[in-house]
Structure 1
């Protein structure tokens, strides 16, 4: 690939941190807390342990991934790491999963989530009951707006990412502070503490309830590694990206645990499950009536749009990166970079078509009884895939340690990698043991098998 086909370095250190923090915070934590408590049957202690276990796993994963970021500071991120460690064939299949499933599906889910909160805000001023069709249509419009911003004003997109990262952290810190103050004052009812944990009837053991929480919590923590996707566009990437991964994941873990405590100290698990995604609005209404609820909704909308924009920022580059893989068939000129915008326009258009398709599929799985009765979560499928990939990368570090490829080959680095691998194993076990868990694995394997169709035969 010629030099003029390279993506230029245009993002600084703060943008890299905002990609890590911003891609995690702003969507999952707001609409997955009710799913966590649903999975734990209202057991708030099981949910707390789930947040701690997954959070620690993510922190050590970020520290371990920083080894790759330091060694390979160029565009491609995890895709580039897989190719370096396991070869072009493995990189091809990971790239295929990125192209066909992972990025377009997660982006579709998050833009639909933006539609959920915008629709409920509009419902406060207009006489209508929001439906999933409203959510999907609003998400579709938001997708087109932010796609245009990323293609024609990529630097403006980076600025938006930084701004929303700051704004989205504020309500989380505020809610966490309310919970801590309530605990200090003793203004916490018994049902909101850990003395009564769960609903009146629990069908599973406590350990299985903790394990069941891993799927929604993993989604809430997901996205920290997406910053590696633009590693070639980060200034001084060899130093800035590893620092961003470590600082970002540690920050997110503490913010999430504090936020969860802030919520469950003021609302019961049963109440949160009943309210579903609107629980946060009712939480704000308790403290500041309707005006507080509206303000909280605005913060959440900004947060979700920031996360959606960051994921789209990565998504529109995936077909471009896939097309440049050694084992990939070339089609639709996905490998080209536009001379005027310095962006892979064809790649972006292809990605948006896939995202729109998944918005429709997400709508179906949330409205057809066949899926809703089974509590089928389409967004869990790509999470299973990325945990498998990350687990393989962390295992691959040990051979690299033996070859002394890193500037520091300390015992501490190896311990971090061991803990990261164990964390991946625990989360995957929890996923497999949960409802629909095996189905998610099988669907991911099916997509993997479909990858042979776009692979070079020679």
Structure 2
């Protein structure tokens, strides 16, 4: 059955903004400042670079989305325009690395802000335990009731805009000096980092991540071949504006030294500086709800991914995993598999943080970097469609994908700069997962 085109430009833009603005900006601002040596203007520059990487990448993929006849988002683009076996490869990466690492990290961050809110002792063990409880709750809730998961997602989309816009507006008129550092916090001063500022692109990519999901509604958008490229330009620009305003607002209120030194705890001081002790708690509640919304949203989508791959016979035991519970409209085996993989990565994340293996970064950033590298295959396909005459516009078929490829290279360099020792190893690991998915597709004769 052909889908009706019932979404307009405003809906498409709001979906992109709602998906892209997530939790990253709340706990990645300090990482961005550290990578830029405390330089505010270098921080602004990498925000702009990250935004344009997203814009040209999203415009390019909209050309595939507008021509796709299958559902399933980016995996379906690989399946329809490149190769079913490459779709299997990328599907394995998304299922085994991309989604679970992001879910694990954001769940852990939820634990960090819960501890700040309740004034519990801040230990990695307690942060991880709370993260485990949160992800367990949301996986279970989204399996038992998609309505509850959807309602919570709608609520948090509105809630997370309140602190972002509020801090931005207050920062414009802030005249007080920066607060004193707590006694137990060691001061970190600004420094010259040279080309090391490229490391900020890894947390920037995390903050902007999520835009790819918006391409899944392309065929339901009115006049989508013109509307979606426009929406995929306007949307990231709005996200960029909100992020920059919040970033500069935080700096105006507490200063760069406080953010560099206090890290993720700086957001608590922002609330305290504005409204006192009660303001600190109120802001933390807003931030926590926003971050939990991300955990909910990712788990809502992730529990369906193994089921999608199994329906295409891209996984071992596909027959079992694809079995759906008619009442839930979801496979219990798919949900359980996604949950167990996420718990595994939460343990890995705990170990990397405990022994500082990723030098202040986390496992999800590198997985996102690998995703941008994988998109290059699709960007090249769009260039191929231009050469064969399927795409008429030189901008859409040549300029945008070339700039998208350039953006992926920049983000890759940023990931390697952030951690030159372990990033290549993790990228190699992600590539190995893709190879396993590809060869599984070859062995089972999945598609062409």
Q: Which residue does the alignment assign to 1:384?
A: 369
The correspondence for 1:291, drawn from 245, 255, 278, is: 278
Taking the aligned partners of 1:139 and 1:284, their CA distance within structure 2 comes to 23
CA distance in 2, matches of 1:390, 1:98: 13
How far 1:268 moved relative to its partner? 2.8
1:240-275 Cα deviation digits (max 9, x unpaired): 977765553232121112211212233332221111
Q: What is the aligned partner in structure 2 of residue 447 from structure 1?
A: 433
Q: Does 1:432 align with 2:428?
A: no
CA contact (8 A) 2:85 2:441 kept: no
After alignment, is 419-428 or 44-53 more displaced? 419-428
Q: Does structure 2 retain, via aligned residues, the 8 Å contact 1:167–1:303?
A: yes
**Structure 2 vs 1, CA of residues 301 and 100 (structure 1 numbering), >3 Å: closer, same or farther?**
same
Mapped pair 1:348 → 2:335: yes
Q: Secondary structure at the match of 1:336?
A: coil
Q: CA deviation at 1:100?
A: 1.0
Aligned with 2:43 (options 44, 47, 50): 47
Residue 298 (structure 1) shift: 0.7
Residue 192 of structure 1: aligned partner: none
Q: Could you tell me which residue of structure 1 aligns to residue 24 of structure 2?
A: 28
- Aligned partner of 1:82 in structure 2 is 78
**How many Å separate the matches in 2 of 1:384 and 1:109?**
15
Distance 1:73 1:246 in 2: 23
Alpha-carbon separation, structure 2, partners of 1:77 and 1:297: 34
SS in 2 for 1:342: coil
Write the mapping of 1:321-332 to structure 2, written as runs, cut at 5 A: 321-325=308-312, 327-331=314-318
Q: How far 1:346 sits from its partner (Å)?
A: 1.9
CA contact (8 A) 1:64 1:413 kept: yes
* Aligned counterparts of 2:190 and 2:170: Cα–Cα separation in 1: 27
Q: For residue 107 of structure 1, report the CA deviation from its aligned partner.
A: 0.9
Query: Do the aligned residues in 2 keep the contact of 1:365 with 1:376 (CA within 8 Å)?
Result: no
Taking the aligned partners of 1:298 and 1:376, their CA distance within structure 2 comes to 25
CA distance in 2, matches of 1:27, 1:140: 17
Instruction: Name the count of aligned residue pairs.
Output: 427
1:121 aligns with 2:137: no
Mapping for residues 72-151 of structure 1, pairs under 5 Å: 72=68, 74-123=70-119, 128-151=120-143
Segment of structure 1 superposing worse, 270-279 or 13-22: 13-22
1:148–1:19: structure 2 CA closer, same or farther, 3 Å change rule?
Answer: farther
Cα distance in 1, alignment partners of residues 70 and 84 from structure 2:
16
Separation in 1, partners of 2:18, 2:132: 21
Give how far 1:450 is off. 4.2
Q: Distance in 2 between matches of 1:364 and 1:237?
A: 48
2 CA distance for matches of 1:376 and 1:283? 23
Would the aligned equivalents of 2:111 and 2:128 in 1 still touch at CA under 8 Å? yes
1:237–1:31 Cα change, 3 Å: farther
Gaps of 5+ in 2: 179-187
Q: 1:49-448 counterparts in 2 under 5 A?
A: 49-72=45-68, 74-123=70-119, 128-182=120-174, 199=189, 201-202=191-192, 204-205=193-194, 208-228=195-215, 231=217, 239=224, 245-325=232-312, 327-331=314-318, 333-368=320-355, 371=357, 374-405=359-390, 409-414=392-397, 415-436=399-420, 437-448=423-434
CA separation of 1:287 and 1:81: change in aligned 2, threshold 3 A: same
- In structure 1, list runs of 5 or more residues that go unmatched: 190-197
Does the Cα contact within 8 Å between 1:20 and 1:249 map onto a contact in 2?
yes
Q: 1:444 to 1:237 in 2, by over 3 A?
A: farther
Q: Which secondary structure does the structure 2 equivalent of 1:72 belong to?
A: coil
In structure 2, C-alpha distance between the alignment counterparts of 1:87 and 1:162, rounded to whole Å? 35
**What TM-score comes out, normalization by structure 2 length?**
0.86
Task: Measure, in 2, the Cα distance between the counterparts of 1:256 and 1:322.
Answer: 34
How far apart are the structure 2 equivalents of 1:159 and 1:220? 23
Deviations 1:2-23 (A, max 9, x none): x9xxxx99x9888876653343
Q: Residues 263-322 of structure 1: CA distance to partner in whole angstroms, max 9, x if unpaired?
A: 223333222111110111101211111111111101101110111111112211111122
Q: Specify the alignment match of 2:183 in structure 1.
A: none
TM-score, normalised to structure 1, is 0.84
Query: Quick check: 1:16–1:244 contact (8 Å CA) kept in 2?
Result: yes
1:194 alignment counterpart:
none
Distance between the aligned counterparts of 2:57 and 2:364, measured in 1?
A: 21
Contact 2:304 2:334 in 1 (8 A): yes
Q: 1:329 to 1:242 in 2, by over 3 A?
A: farther
